[in-house]
Structure 1
Amino acid sequence: MQSRTLSHVPTRQISAARILTSSGFGLLFDAFDVGLLSYVLVSLAKQWHLSQTTTGLIGSVSMIGMAVGSAFAGSLADKFGRRNIFLWTLLIYSVATGLSALATGVGIFFVLRFFVGLGLGGELPVATTYVLESSPEAVRGRRVVFLEMFWAFGSLVAALISFFVIPSAGWRIVFLIGAIPALYTIILRLALPETPRYQNINKRPSMVSALKEVWSEGIARRSVVTWILWLVRNQLGVLHLS
């Protein structure tokens, strides 16, 4: 997410705890969903008599949604703000996750899983950008490391909820559990301002120009490597579904 001409707009200081809590829970739900789907599909395959191919496709459509969401979120965040796009992507995830609990067939479940991935894929890079741009340079790296810890917590929460809830209450309940806290995270995020760096951008780039810059000479190679690392990390959570 590249900036353009900067002005000098005074901004209030934001505590590290508030930055990490609001952004970190976004990553927690990202990891939670990736891990949760692995456990849910075991139950879903038995209930809906799904083949291995179908369960693999369900896992894949989530990854496709995440790829699409991450591809456009950065450009949209450059144009409309990190805070706004974080809120919208988290809202998409929350609504789609909650509606997944009401799915009655594979078709609608496919569609909802795409939108869940779309929201999560868009939220992940924006949350990281928010922490980077809201942190002093001296502690920026440390805060990003703390932020990434929420991913591990999300995977742990997914395993615990799946172990205790799915056998007794069913897979639909875990989707409701995932949607409700995500809505609370939106409330947390509403209390935070836009990042200081974004507020100081005088000229907002268009989405087309931002996308061209990401894949321009000198940056394209780094973009490809980052995408590969991101996809590998997320795909590890669903490898055993195939």
Structure 2
Amino acid sequence: MASTSTLVGPKPVSAARILTSSGFGLLFDSFDVGLLSYVLVSLSKDWHLSTTVTGLIGSVSSIGMAVGSAFAGSLADKFGRRNIFLFTLLIYSIATGLSAFAAGIGIFCVLRFFVGLGLGGELPVATTYVLESSPEKVRGRRVVFLEMFWAFGSLVAALVSFFVIPHSGWRVVFLLGAIPALYTIVLRFALPETPKYARLEQRPSMGTALRQVWKKGIARRSVVTWILWFVRHPLHT
């Protein structure tokens, strides 16, 4: 990993700060995705859920993920990469924490939709943040290092589920999933806006941004990118 600094905003920001700050966002996302697959085993026993209902829970999360990823890019063009990164991280961490207090399958599914909403929005925005904050010659390398945090998050989810669920139950692990809400306070001061966004003289509206993604000559690439992204970051059930 290159140790050179990148000019982000008025001050140079080290590559390590860019990667670790953004990477922990991906780690928390991966942690939540992996967590659900372990929690559903315990949850289905406690609430006597059928396989159809457990599949529905995963589907609701996927729908939220699709909606989040569809609109996060346009919002990031309008309000900034850092702001949407923090906002989506906050949404999914709060929804995850509230899931610990769900009394029934209905409210649990609603909360899982919001978890997916934040998750689907945060992942592409975090990658965009690293890309736009990195010199061209090291962008690919930094994105690879960024994706490593996803693997670490899956490992953390497995360890937490193995040691916590048998002794404290699934609600406790969802409370642990709310920790990223506190992490947004750190990111608020650690991450400035990307140079590319800071140089924009005019912020495009959401409608303009969506039309640009689906205009002739770009729509096919958008569809392929969406498919590849969902294949790489599935929600396990």
Instruction: Mark the runs of 5 or more structure 1 residues left unpaired by the alignment.
Output: 1-8
Aligned counterpart, 2:106: 107
Kindly indicate whether the alpha-carbon contact (under 8 Å) linking 1:11 and 1:196 is maintained by their aligned counterparts in 2: no
User: Structure 2 length as normaliser, TM-score?
Assistant: 0.93
**2:207 alignment partner in structure 1:** 208
Q: How does 1:1-242 map to 2 (within 5 A)?
A: 11-180=10-179, 182-191=180-189, 192-235=191-234, 237-238=235-236, 241=237
Change (3 A) 1:115 1:187: same
Q: 1:24 touches 1:148 (CA, 8 Å); kept in 2?
A: yes
Shift of 1:220: 1.1
Tell which deviates more after alignment, 98-107 or 17-26: 17-26
% identical aligned pairs: 78
Residue 10 (structure 1) shift: 6.4
- Confirm or deny: 8 A CA contact 1:32 1:154 kept in the other structure: yes
Contact in 1 for aligned 2:9/2:193 (Cα 8 Å):
no
Q: Aligned partners of 2:86 and 2:14: how far apart in 1?
A: 19
Cα contact 2:9–2:192 (8 A) shared by 1? no
- Rounded to whole Å, the distance in 1 between the matches of 2:72 and 2:9 is 26
Q: Deviations over 1:68-104 (max 9, x none)?
A: 0010000000000011111111111111011000001
1:28, 1:150 within 8 Å by CA — same for their partners in 2? yes
Gapped regions of structure 2 (runs ≥ 5): 1-7
Q: How far, CA to CA, are the matches of 1:176 and 1:48 in structure 2?
A: 19
Q: 1:65 to 1:143 in 2, by over 3 A?
A: same
- RMSD over aligned CA atoms reads 1.3
| Distance in 1 of aligned mates of 2:105 and 2:178 | 20
Matched position secondary structure for 1:13: strand
Separation (CA, whole Å) in 2 of partners of 1:121 and 1:49: 29
For 1:97 and 1:159, the matched residues in 2 are separated by 17
TM-score by length of 1: 0.92
d(CA) in 2 for partners of 1:89 and 1:204?
20
> Retained in 2: the 8 A contact 1:22–1:185?
no
**Alpha-carbon deviations, 1:139-177, whole Å to 9, x = none?**
111110000000101111111111111111100010111
